[in-house]
Structures are given as structure tokens and as C-alpha cells.
Amino acid sequence: MAIEPLCSHVRLIVPLAVLAAVVFVSPAQTETNRLRAATADRAVVEACLKLVEENAKEVAQKPVEDEAPGAAGRLAAAAKEAATQAESCIGAVTIPCQQQPGGSSTAGMIACNTREWAVWDERLNRTYATLLKDADRKLAAALRQAQRTWLQWPEKKCTLPEIENEGGSIVGPLYTGCMLDATARQALWLGHRE
């Protein structure tokens, strides 16, 4: 059954179990409430990315510390670097949402993932449009090809849980979480080109 997902940049074949879970996730809301939630979610992601940017500027002004050798040294350095990496903002909406009552249920996880997925998808589409508008013909063609190629990857990867879990209830949270992560990382990758 082909449907238009919450992400506007890709058409997916969504497993029926996932579709049912997404449709019945939350109580009926007015359009105003949905817009408020999206605005609040957008603000959370933007605030996180702004903090990462500020942290990166602050770290850039400090002398570089020598990383301790070995696995423990790498993990310690990575923990310090996390506050300066935009990828650390993936989950800024989802994690607090899942910590709320009902957020750790199957329907709750799908709803939380879907909320943040929509924010990153909007960011991806906006960034992509800006890049295309400002690019010369050759770069625009390369960007279109890169994006078309990328669109196939999450479609294939994120539907694997349905096969691996034989349609179990975890399929919906795994699918929406995978799409959230893939979309966010692509939005950030494109954003580095602006």
C-alpha cells in the first residue's frame, strides 16, 4: 500500500502495521495544536543546534588537548566532542517525548519519532531548496543526483525491521526511528554545504 509519508521528499511503501500504528498514535488534535507542537519541536532542534555552534566556537578558541591513547582515550575525547557535533541534536525532541507518560509505549515511540522526523524533514527540504537555488548548473545536477541516490537508501534500510521482526510491534518504532535518524543526518550533511 503506497502512501505519502510525513516526509515530503520521498514516497515509501509503508508496512501496514506501521501505518496503523501511526494513524492511531495520538488523540485527535486541532490543526492549531498540531502547528503549536511542530513550532515547539522546531524550536527545540534549533536551540540545540545553536548551542552546538556556540560550543564549537568556544572549543575552537581553546588549545587542542592531546587525546589519551587507546579505546578509553578515544571514548573520552568523543564525549567531549559530542557537545560540538550537530549530530548530538538528533533525539532532542524524541528523547524527552519518550520520557513522558505513554512515551515509551509502541504508539508513544512512533509519535515521538514522527514529531522529530517532521522537523528534520522540513529542515532537509528547506536546505536542499536553498542549495539548488544558489548552485550553478553543474553543482545543481550533482546535488539532485546525490539526493536521488540518498532517497533510495533509507527506503531500503528502514524497511528491514519488518522483515527482521516479522511484523512485530517493534516494527513501527524501529521504522520511524530509522527514518528520523537518516533524515536528520542528511539534513545536517546538506547543511554543511550552505
Structural domains in the chain (count): 1
CA distance linking residue 99 with residue 8, whole number of Å: 28
Residue 3 located in a structural domain: no
Confidence (pLDDT) at 141: 96
Averaged pLDDT for residues 66-75: 85
pLDDT at 157: 93
Three-state DSSP class for residue 13: strand
Residue 172 forms part of a structural domain: yes
> What is the per-residue DSSP string for 127-144?
HHHHHHHHS-HHHHHHHH
- Kindly state whether residue 8 falls inside one of the protein's structural domains: no
What CA–CA distances, in Å, run from 48 to 1, 92, 125, 128, 157?
Answer: 36, 7, 19, 21, 27
Number of neighbouring beta carbons within 10 Å of residue 92: 20
Count of residues making up the chain:
194
Q: Which amino acid, 147? A: Q
Q: Give the per-residue pLDDT at 4.
A: 31
88: in domain:
yes
The verdict on residue 126 lying in a domain is yes
Cβ atoms of 162 and 15 within 8 Å: the answer is yes
**47 contact partners, CB below 8 Å, separation of at least 6:** 92
The confidence band for 18, taking pLDDT boundaries of 50, 70 and 90, is very low
Averaged pLDDT, 110-124: 94
User: Domain of 46?
Assistant: 13-191
Q: How far is residue 2's CA from residue 21's CA, in Å, rounded to a whole number? A: 16
* Residue 19 pLDDT greater than 60, yes or no: no
The pLDDT tens digits for 125-135 are 999 999 999 89
* pTM metric for this prediction: 0.77
Is there a domain that residue 123 lies in?
yes
- Residue 2, strand partner residues: 13
For residue 1, being part of any structural domain is answered with: no
Q: Does the residue 6 lie in any domain? A: no
